[in-house]
Amino acid sequence: MADQGPLSGQMLGGRYQLYERLGSGGFADVYRGEHVRLKTLCAIKVLHTRLTGKHLDRFESEARTVAHLNHPNILQVRDFDIDNGMPFLVMDYASNGTLRDRHPSGSKLPLATVVPYIAQVAEALHYAHEQNPPIVHRDIKPENLLIGPRGEILLSDFGIAIAVTEYIHPRDAIGTAAYMAPEQFREEPHRASDQYALGIVVYEWLCGARPFKGDFLGLGYKHVHEPPPALRAADKAPWLPSAVEQVVLKALAKDPADRFESVRAFAQALERAAAPQKTKEQWKTEGDNHWKSGQYKEALAAYEEAIKLDPNFAIAYNKGNALSDLKRHEEALAAYEQALRLDPKAAFAWNGKGNALYSLKRYEEALAAYEQALRLDPKYAHAYNNKGAALKALGRAAEAEQAYQQARALGYQW
């Protein structure tokens, strides 16, 4: 909540007028300010400490690095300076506040709200992590997630906290410690640390509480040694899909190597897990559409999702078509044989089995499979055409022509 801070009404750097204080943290206060000549509003972060020597150099280096970050989900740093030894940063003014303001502590948010938030923050972090050298935020929390003029989420405080935390007693950072990755307590932060912190934010939003409570030392011990309580526990978010819980807990793995390969991958996995689950029929239809479009890998993946939902869903073993087009003929044959074990009267499976055998140059067996398909469905035009191909491969040209004629009579077109 805005108030009159100790610097309200003062001028910094000879060009920035400070108004009300917007917020206060362990290492800085933030004021609404104005450039007196340009008459533009801004947010001005004034550090509590006074820097000299190498520490001042480090602050300036951090500030320059952050000022060069240019992403639609990162709050832009416009300027920085030192006023009588007091460092300050000038940033875009986000008048809509933070996500902590919008969703106070204890709030439980629906997945439909959480997923878009995380997608935006993850894109900002991914962009920073891809810089050379990578830029790690190290202080992800709702207080640092601002709301832009169009409702977009803006990530603030990139790297600046790190430039000054060595001057602050660690117990002053209890709020931040609640989101810190295990390796940060060992002073070994890297890109996966931001993913862990974002995972804590997701956990908190979904069930209304962070996984761990305590003072700095207590939080450090729990983050390093204790698994987070189950998200789907009766007193937390029992309604949550198990797939979502698994994604969040993976992001909160103690070992960074056990987390997602990137923060973007985490956000994408969360989005998939939160999406309404497709039925086996929908997956099968999606597979058919991909196959007809020549997207054989995508078709295979869709068929396999249908089979995961119901291993006895015989028609989904039509994945053999995709396998054949991917030149994986032995696997295609196995798929159709499984379909036939489930439904021996499935004409499509006999025809598909014939195709796989034909591709393996097992023409006699292919012919027998096509004939079985035609006994089950005498009007199966594709099976007649395929039978013709098998007969032709066996040197039985007259019979092949008869099969081709029958296929054309049934409407088969090359």
Domains annotated for the chain, with CATH where assigned, are 11-91 (3.30.200.20), 99-274 (1.10.510.10), 280-409 (1.25.40.10)
Would you call 78 exposed, middle or buried from its count of C-beta atoms within 10 A (0-12, 13-18, 19+)? Answer: middle
Residues 6+ apart with CB under 8 A from 356: 320, 324, 329, 330, 332, 333, 336
Q: Structure pTM? A: 0.68
Asked if the model's pLDDT at residue 348 lies above 50, the reply is yes
Which two tokens mark 37? 């000549």
- Give 164's pLDDT tier (boundaries 50, 70, 90): very low
Q: What is the mean pLDDT of residues 133-161?
A: 88
Distance CA 32, CA 21 (A): 6
| Residue bearing tokens 């979502």 | 244
Asked whether the bond before 133 is cis by omega within 30 degrees of 0, the reply is yes
**55 or 323: which leads in pLDDT:** 323
Calculate ∠ Cα 93-98-102, nearest 5°: 135
φ/ψ (deg, to 5) at 412? -70, 135
Asked if the model's pLDDT at residue 328 lies above 70, the reply is yes
Distance CA 174, CA 248 (A): 22
Name the average pLDDT for the chain. Answer: 91
Please report the pLDDT score of residue 47 as a whole number: 87
139 is catalytic: yes
DSSP 8-state class, residue 3: B
Of 148, 120, 173, 150, give the one whose Cα is nearest residue 43.
148
Q: What is the pLDDT of residues 17-75, one digit of tens each?
A: 999 999 887 778 999 999 999 999 999 999 888 777 777 787 888 788 888 899 999 99
- Give 351's pLDDT tier (boundaries 50, 70, 90): very high
Q: Are 85 and 50 in contact (CB under 8 A)?
A: yes
The one catalytic residue among 29, 92, 139, 157: 139
Residue 385, CA distances (Å) to 31, 186, 228, 254, 389 in order: 78, 69, 61, 59, 7
Distance CA 339, CA 350 (A): 9
Asked if the model's pLDDT at residue 162 lies above 90, the reply is no
